[in-house]
Amino acid sequence: MPAPSDYWRGWAETREDLPRAGWFLLAVTLAGVPAGVIWWALAPRAEFRITEDGPAPIGVPSAELLIADDGVFVLVLATLGLFAGLAAWAMRKARGVTLVVTLAVGTVLAGAVAWWVGVLLGEGPTDAQLAEVGGVVTTRLDLGSTAALAVAPFVAVLVYLLGVILNADDGLGRPVPVPDANSDASPAPAADAPVLPPLVETPPARH
């Protein structure tokens, strides 16, 4: 039978985990910045040369260019979710409900940040660039399917749950909280409470 410490301790445990969860949420969200840079660096884009008749493709652009951009984004977010899930499971002192919720929310925010960074870096050509004959422009980077944002939280939570399944401890290996030494002590009498003398049994009178 599981010990009382193996069960979720409700708000008391949540309040104890909030500081660690806050820092973890911030770190995972900021991880979306390098993820966006990697997406921008790896995603394929087509180049066009501006002619008097309009933009002319350089080489043979792939017909699956937009799908390839989404595919690279999915792979980047899957990798982000993998490392986020491993990092969450490594936080042994904070394993529990609060950390799982933080992990899911953090990876969603990280995916949104990666999307924003990639679009910002892969901005399309301006009107002035399109009007410059002889110049070379690159197609803009964008996400075709917003459903790809679900990849990072899915992988992250899956990795964490695999750790839960493979862990034989009902408490997830989390350190057992030490009860307060004064919690079992008898409460002190109030200052204005009357002090009663000890009861002494009176011996029967002799006749």
Domain boundaries, the chain: 12-166
Following DSSP, what letter does each residue of 153-187 receive, concatenated?
HHHHHHHHHHHHHH---TTTTPPPPPPPTTSSSPP
Tens digits of pLDDT across the chain (207 residues) = 444 444 555 666 667 778 888 899 999 999 999 999 999 998 887 666 666 665 655 655 555 666 788 899 999 999 999 999 999 999 888 788 888 999 999 999 999 999 999 999 888 666 565 556 666 656 778 888 899 999 999 999 999 999 888 887 766 666 666 655 555 544 444 445 555 555 555 556 565
pTM exceeding the 0.85 threshold for the entire prediction: no
Which stretches of the chain are DSSP H helices? 11-30, 32-42, 65-90, 97-121, 127-131, 151-166
Instruction: Report residue 51 CA to chain centroid gap.
Output: 47
- Locate 63 and state its tokens: 């017909």
Distance CA 65, CA 45 (A): 7
